[in-house]
Structure 1
Amino acid sequence: MAAKKSAPQEAPGIDIGISEKDRRKIADGLSHFLADSYTLYLKTHNFHWNVTGPMFNTLHAMFMTQYNEQWTALDEIAERIRALGFRAPGSYAEFGKLSSIAEEKAPDQLDWREMVRQLVLGNEAVCRTARKVIKAAEAAGDDPTADLATQRLQVHEKYAWMLRSLLE
């Protein structure tokens, strides 16, 4: 039997000026955002370990910079879900159900160009998810969530651009 995707579970007695319905919608969007962000973090870290070829030094260092920054951001996203009164997803199974970033070939089957291409696509996916969160947060007057997602959007747009430039 397939596991059912459940809605975020609300903590009791939350009154922060955002309705329960809006907080639930935002928390759901943040859960997808967290899953995409975690999946991209894991893929970036994996490629850091497994990159080979003439771009090794450059990409090994670039990937490390990116995954370290991404790791810190994961905590901020999860804590925002908690501040809204909901449980943050935190397992591979949950992230797999929520993420829009697909797993592709194993790193030992990829050259550096394909790794970079996949990270461009992953960063772009995180950007699209961030935009959805921003829209929901702005509609509910949730400035902290909109600010967090906007800051993450800026980082991931920059990463996508930097990685894309390597392929030109």
Structure 2
Amino acid sequence: MDINIGISAEKRKASAEAVRKLMADTYTLYLKTHGYHWNVEGPHFQQLHIQFMDQYTEMWTAVDELAERIRALGYLAPASYADMAKISSIKEEDGTPDWKTMVKNLAQGHEQVAKTARDVLRVAEDAGDDATADVVGPRVTLHEKTAWMLRATAS
């Protein structure tokens, strides 16, 4: 069935591809955060264990919303980690770093997701894709705030 939502097929594809990248970055950061939640140790264990859980829970919900936006644009969302790993800007973690390195790595990950989300906003604006901008705009704010809180924790 044809999609007629007021955005050309070419612009819908550009928006969907941009959101796919954001979804992949978010999912990769989600996995890293969840792994850190399980494995964090040290003097700030309790605080970080809870903080990481709050972060990965929020990102899990966001991944679903991003996937649904891709589908609304008429494209398939990445459905495996292998698909996401190919397009993610965030790389998998090797080993288990100490708590402070975990916090620094996550701060950098949130900064990257904020940058990727900004790129999506530019594509969405060019496409006249207000719905994608509505989904993605709050992501920038959330990831910038989370990065700031993590940087403050690591200092």
Please classify the TM superposition score into its range, dividing by the shorter chain length: over 0.9
2:76 to 75, 81, 87: 87
Cα contact 2:32–2:93 (8 A) shared by 1: no
2:93 to 104, 111, 117: 104
Which runs of no fewer than 5 residues in structure 2 stay unpaired?
none
Matched, 1:52 2:41: yes
Q: Which has the higher helix share?
A: 2
Alpha-carbon RMSD: 0.8
Q: Distance in 1 between matches of 2:88 and 2:94?
A: 17
Q: Distance in 1 between matches of 2:124 and 2:66?
A: 13
Which runs of no fewer than 5 residues in structure 1 stay unpaired?
1-11
TM-score where L is the length of structure 1: 0.90
Q: Distance in 2 between matches of 1:105 and 1:92?
A: 16
Q: What letter is aligned with 1:167?
A: A
Cα contact 2:113–2:143 (8 A) shared by 1: yes
Q: How many residues align?
A: 155
Q: Which runs of 4+ in 1 moved over 6 A?
A: none
What is the CA-CA distance between 1:147 and the residue it aligns to?
1.4
Residue of structure 1 in register with 2:132 after alignment? 145
Percent of aligned positions that are identical? 55
TM-score where L is the length of structure 2: 0.98
Matched, 1:121 2:116: no
Q: Distance in 1 between matches of 2:33 and 2:95?
A: 13
> Any idea what the Cα deviations from partners look like across 1:23-46, whole Å, max 9, x if unmatched?
000100000000000000000000
Residue of structure 2 in register with 1:27 after alignment? 16
What is the CA-CA distance between 1:54 and the residue it aligns to?
0.4
Matched, 1:61 2:50: yes
Residue of structure 2 in register with 1:18 after alignment? 7
Q: Distance in 1 between matches of 2:129 and 2:55?
A: 28
Which secondary structure does the structure 2 equivalent of 1:95 belong to? helix
What is the CA-CA distance between 1:105 and the residue it aligns to?
2.5
Residue of structure 2 in register with 1:135 after alignment? 122
> Any idea what the Cα deviations from partners look like across 1:101-157, whole Å, max 9, x if unmatched?
0123312xx110000011011101101110010000011111110111111111111
Residue of structure 2 in register with 1:9 after alignment? none
Cα contact 2:16–2:73 (8 A) shared by 1: yes
